[in-house]
Amino acid sequence: MESNHKSQGDQNDEMVIFSIISSSICSECGAELIKGRFLKMEKEKPLCLECADLDHLVYLQSGNAALTRRSKKYSNLSAVVMRFSRSRHRYERQGLLVESEALIRAEKECKGDEAARKISRERAAVVRELADKEYVRQFSVKIRMQYPGCPAQEAEAIADHACQKYSGRVGRSSGAKAFDANPSSRPKPL
Protein backbone atom coordinates (compact mmCIF):
# COMPACT_ATOMS: atom_id res chain seq x y z
CA MET A 1 0.00 0.00 0.00
CA GLU A 2 2.66 2.45 1.05
CA SER A 3 4.76 1.93 -2.07
CA ASN A 4 1.81 2.94 -4.23
CA HIS A 5 1.40 6.22 -2.51
CA LYS A 6 4.07 8.14 -4.38
CA SER A 7 3.53 6.73 -7.84
CA GLN A 8 -0.13 7.69 -7.66
CA GLY A 9 0.85 11.32 -7.20
CA ASP A 10 3.41 11.12 -9.98
CA GLN A 11 1.21 9.76 -12.72
CA ASN A 12 -1.18 12.65 -12.14
CA ASP A 13 0.63 15.89 -12.85
CA GLU A 14 -2.45 18.06 -12.55
CA MET A 15 -2.50 20.79 -9.97
CA VAL A 16 -5.26 20.18 -7.47
CA ILE A 17 -7.38 22.85 -5.81
CA PHE A 18 -9.89 22.01 -3.12
CA SER A 19 -13.40 23.31 -2.86
CA ILE A 20 -13.51 23.19 0.90
CA ILE A 21 -16.32 21.68 2.93
CA SER A 22 -15.43 23.40 6.18
CA SER A 23 -13.93 26.83 6.74
CA SER A 24 -10.22 27.38 6.81
CA ILE A 25 -7.74 30.22 7.07
CA CYS A 26 -5.10 31.14 4.52
CA SER A 27 -1.72 30.52 6.07
CA GLU A 28 -0.21 33.47 4.27
CA CYS A 29 -2.66 36.39 4.39
CA GLY A 30 -4.91 35.14 7.16
CA ALA A 31 -8.07 35.47 5.07
CA GLU A 32 -10.95 33.40 6.28
CA LEU A 33 -12.07 30.88 3.71
CA ILE A 34 -15.61 29.74 4.10
CA LYS A 35 -17.16 26.52 2.88
CA GLY A 36 -17.23 26.33 -0.92
CA ARG A 37 -14.19 28.55 -1.42
CA PHE A 38 -11.13 27.31 -3.23
CA LEU A 39 -7.96 26.44 -1.42
CA LYS A 40 -4.57 25.17 -2.43
CA MET A 41 -2.45 23.05 -0.15
CA GLU A 42 1.18 24.00 -0.45
CA LYS A 43 3.69 22.21 1.73
CA GLU A 44 0.87 21.15 4.02
CA LYS A 45 -0.32 24.74 4.38
CA PRO A 46 -3.60 26.13 3.08
CA LEU A 47 -3.41 29.05 0.69
CA CYS A 48 -6.16 31.19 -0.76
CA LEU A 49 -6.16 31.55 -4.56
CA GLU A 50 -4.73 35.09 -4.34
CA CYS A 51 -1.75 33.95 -2.31
CA ALA A 52 -1.29 30.93 -4.58
CA ASP A 53 -1.20 33.32 -7.58
CA LEU A 54 -4.15 31.56 -9.12
CA ASP A 55 -6.83 34.20 -8.67
CA HIS A 56 -6.76 35.06 -12.38
CA LEU A 57 -8.19 31.64 -13.20
CA VAL A 58 -11.90 31.08 -13.79
CA TYR A 59 -13.93 28.12 -12.69
CA LEU A 60 -15.49 25.76 -15.18
CA GLN A 61 -17.81 23.17 -13.71
CA SER A 62 -17.62 19.60 -15.00
CA GLY A 63 -20.37 18.43 -17.33
CA ASN A 64 -19.34 19.53 -20.79
CA ALA A 65 -16.54 17.17 -21.83
CA ALA A 66 -15.63 18.98 -25.06
CA LEU A 67 -15.55 22.39 -23.39
CA THR A 68 -13.46 21.04 -20.51
CA ARG A 69 -10.99 19.32 -22.81
CA ARG A 70 -10.52 22.39 -24.98
CA SER A 71 -10.30 24.83 -22.09
CA LYS A 72 -7.56 22.75 -20.57
CA LYS A 73 -5.73 22.47 -23.86
CA TYR A 74 -5.67 26.24 -24.39
CA SER A 75 -4.84 27.15 -20.83
CA ASN A 76 -1.16 27.48 -19.94
CA LEU A 77 -2.11 26.97 -16.35
CA SER A 78 -4.99 24.89 -15.09
CA ALA A 79 -6.03 23.12 -11.93
CA VAL A 80 -8.51 20.39 -11.11
CA VAL A 81 -11.06 21.30 -8.46
CA MET A 82 -11.83 18.51 -6.01
CA ARG A 83 -14.27 18.33 -3.15
CA PHE A 84 -14.59 15.74 -0.46
CA SER A 85 -17.85 13.85 -0.46
CA ARG A 86 -18.79 12.95 3.09
CA SER A 87 -21.30 10.35 1.94
CA ARG A 88 -18.90 8.58 -0.39
CA HIS A 89 -15.76 9.21 1.66
CA ARG A 90 -13.66 10.31 -1.23
CA TYR A 91 -12.57 13.34 -3.16
CA GLU A 92 -14.59 13.99 -6.30
CA ARG A 93 -13.77 16.13 -9.27
CA GLN A 94 -15.96 19.23 -9.50
CA GLY A 95 -14.46 21.10 -12.37
CA LEU A 96 -11.46 22.94 -13.64
CA LEU A 97 -9.76 26.28 -13.05
CA VAL A 98 -8.52 27.72 -16.35
CA GLU A 99 -7.42 31.01 -17.84
CA SER A 100 -10.40 33.05 -18.98
CA GLU A 101 -8.93 33.48 -22.50
CA ALA A 102 -8.75 29.69 -22.81
CA LEU A 103 -12.35 29.30 -21.73
CA ILE A 104 -13.52 31.96 -24.20
CA ARG A 105 -11.62 30.28 -27.03
CA ALA A 106 -12.98 26.85 -26.09
CA GLU A 107 -16.54 28.19 -25.92
CA LYS A 108 -16.16 29.72 -29.38
CA GLU A 109 -14.93 26.43 -30.79
CA CYS A 110 -17.75 24.46 -29.22
CA LYS A 111 -20.31 26.93 -30.59
CA GLY A 112 -18.70 26.60 -34.02
CA ASP A 113 -19.10 22.83 -33.81
CA GLU A 114 -22.72 23.23 -32.82
CA ALA A 115 -23.39 25.39 -35.89
CA ALA A 116 -21.57 22.91 -38.15
CA ARG A 117 -23.58 20.02 -36.72
CA LYS A 118 -26.81 21.91 -37.35
CA ILE A 119 -25.84 22.57 -40.98
CA SER A 120 -24.94 18.93 -41.62
CA ARG A 121 -28.21 17.78 -40.02
CA GLU A 122 -30.16 20.08 -42.33
CA ARG A 123 -28.13 18.96 -45.32
CA ALA A 124 -28.78 15.29 -44.49
CA ALA A 125 -32.53 16.00 -44.31
CA VAL A 126 -32.47 17.60 -47.76
CA VAL A 127 -30.53 14.67 -49.20
CA ARG A 128 -33.01 12.22 -47.68
CA GLU A 129 -35.91 14.12 -49.21
CA LEU A 130 -34.26 14.18 -52.63
CA ALA A 131 -33.53 10.47 -52.37
CA ASP A 132 -37.17 9.79 -51.49
CA LYS A 133 -38.45 11.82 -54.42
CA GLU A 134 -36.07 10.06 -56.76
CA TYR A 135 -37.17 6.69 -55.40
CA VAL A 136 -40.85 7.50 -56.00
CA ARG A 137 -40.01 8.64 -59.53
CA GLN A 138 -38.14 5.42 -60.34
CA PHE A 139 -40.95 3.41 -58.81
CA SER A 140 -43.56 5.08 -60.99
CA VAL A 141 -41.40 4.48 -64.07
CA LYS A 142 -41.33 0.78 -63.20
CA ILE A 143 -45.10 0.69 -62.76
CA ARG A 144 -45.52 2.18 -66.20
CA MET A 145 -43.08 -0.34 -67.66
CA GLN A 146 -45.07 -3.17 -66.13
CA TYR A 147 -48.45 -1.65 -66.97
CA PRO A 148 -47.91 0.34 -70.17
CA GLY A 149 -51.56 1.45 -70.18
CA CYS A 150 -51.23 3.18 -66.82
CA PRO A 151 -51.34 6.97 -67.15
CA ALA A 152 -48.25 8.77 -65.82
CA GLN A 153 -50.16 10.67 -63.14
CA GLU A 154 -51.80 7.55 -61.83
CA ALA A 155 -48.52 5.62 -61.81
CA GLU A 156 -46.96 8.41 -59.78
CA ALA A 157 -49.87 8.41 -57.33
CA ILE A 158 -49.62 4.64 -56.91
CA ALA A 159 -45.87 4.85 -56.41
CA ASP A 160 -46.22 7.69 -53.94
CA HIS A 161 -48.81 5.75 -51.97
CA ALA A 162 -46.77 2.54 -51.98
CA CYS A 163 -43.74 4.36 -50.69
CA GLN A 164 -45.51 6.31 -47.97
CA LYS A 165 -44.82 5.33 -44.37
CA TYR A 166 -46.98 6.04 -41.33
CA SER A 167 -44.53 8.72 -40.24
CA GLY A 168 -45.35 10.69 -43.35
CA ARG A 169 -41.81 10.21 -44.51
CA VAL A 170 -41.42 8.29 -47.70
CA GLY A 171 -40.18 4.80 -47.03
CA ARG A 172 -40.36 1.41 -48.63
CA SER A 173 -43.39 -0.69 -47.76
CA SER A 174 -42.92 -4.41 -48.37
CA GLY A 175 -44.77 -4.06 -51.68
CA ALA A 176 -42.56 -1.20 -52.76
CA LYS A 177 -39.48 -3.09 -51.62
CA ALA A 178 -40.40 -6.14 -53.67
CA PHE A 179 -40.83 -3.91 -56.64
CA ASP A 180 -37.37 -2.49 -56.24
CA ALA A 181 -35.33 -4.52 -58.71
CA ASN A 182 -32.14 -2.54 -58.48
CA PRO A 183 -31.59 -0.96 -55.06
CA SER A 184 -28.04 0.14 -55.87
CA SER A 185 -29.38 2.60 -58.42
CA ARG A 186 -30.93 4.63 -55.62
CA PRO A 187 -29.08 7.87 -54.91
CA LYS A 188 -26.88 7.56 -51.85
CA PRO A 189 -26.74 10.19 -49.09
CA LEU A 190 -23.56 12.28 -49.19
Chain contacts with Zn ion (rule: CB under 5 A) = 26, 28-29, 31, 48, 51
Backbone torsion region of residue 127, taken as left when φ is above 0, otherwise alpha when ψ lies between -120 and 50, otherwise beta: alpha
Q: Which is nearer to Zn ion, 52 or 67 (CB)?
A: 52
Q: How far is the CB of 33 from Zn ion (least distance, A)?
A: 8
Q: Which is nearer to Zn ion, 27 or 64 (CB)?
A: 27
Q: Which is nearer to Zn ion, 28 or 154 (CB)?
A: 28
> Contact at 8 Å (CB) between 84 and 91?
yes
Q: How far is the CB of 101 from Zn ion (least distance, A)?
A: 24
Q: Which is nearer to Zn ion, 52 or 163 (CB)?
A: 52
3-state secondary structure of 33: strand
Q: How far is the CB of 71 from Zn ion (least distance, A)?
A: 25
* DSSP code string of 46-94: EE-TTTTT-TTEEEEETT-HHHHHHHHHH-SS-EEEEEEETTTTEEEEE
Q: How far is the CB of 26 from Zn ion (least distance, A)?
A: 3
> Contact at 8 Å (CB) between 107 and 64?
no
> Contact at 8 Å (CB) between 183 and 167?
no
Query: Quick one: which of 72, 45, 69 has its CA closest to 58?
Result: 72
Q: Which is nearer to Zn ion, 28 or 160 (CB)?
A: 28
Q: How far is the CB of 45 from Zn ion (least distance, A)?
A: 10
